Amino acid sequence: MNKNRSWFALITWCVTPALAVALGAAVIFTGAAVAFAGSNGAKPGAATQSAESPRERVFAGLITDDHCGARHDMASGMNSMDCAKMCVRNGSKYVLVQGNRKYALAGSVSQLERLAGQRVSLAGTLNGNTIKVSSTSSIQ
């Protein structure tokens, strides 16, 4: 073996394993960072659970039909409750009018029919533009 090694060979012999370890650590940490960024730090299954079961909220507004909305044709002599019920019998759906917004209502038709034309407070889950109604109460 040659005992007259140069300083360059000695540095190369020391630096090569250090660079290999550094490169391996960089690959591992980069992979971990990408994995955590993809899941936003959430536990596996948490994103699908929240998307499948939106949380229940309380909404307040007027229950009416999607044909007339908040403005019913009073020239027919019917009040807003009778007009909404008639429109639903003719194919319209019940909606909750909240200011300028309309939300389709999914739930017990008999429960919604009792409150047609009234201001209500209802609890339910919002999915898109549809509220799945779980409970209702009239606002006096």
In this predicted structure, the answer to whether residue 77 has a pLDDT above a threshold of 80 is: no
CA 18 to each of CA 12, 13, 21, 29, 109: distance values in angstroms, whole numbers, following the listed order: 10, 9, 5, 16, 72
Where residue 72 falls among pLDDT bands split at 50, 70, 90? low
CATH number for the segment(s) 54-138: 2.40.50
Amino acid at 133: V
Tens of pLDDT, residues 41-65: 555 555 444 555 678 999 999 898 8
Q: Higher confidence at residue 53 or residue 123?
A: 123
pTM of the model: 0.58
pLDDT at 39: 59
Q: How confident is the model at residue 85 (pLDDT cuts 50, 70, 90)?
A: confident
Contact yes or no for 103/131 (Cβ under 8 A): yes
Domain extents in the chain? 7-48, 54-138
* Ramachandran assignment for 20, one of left (phi > 0), alpha (psi -120 to 50 degrees), beta (any other): alpha
Comparison of pLDDT for 33 and 47, the residue scoring more:
33
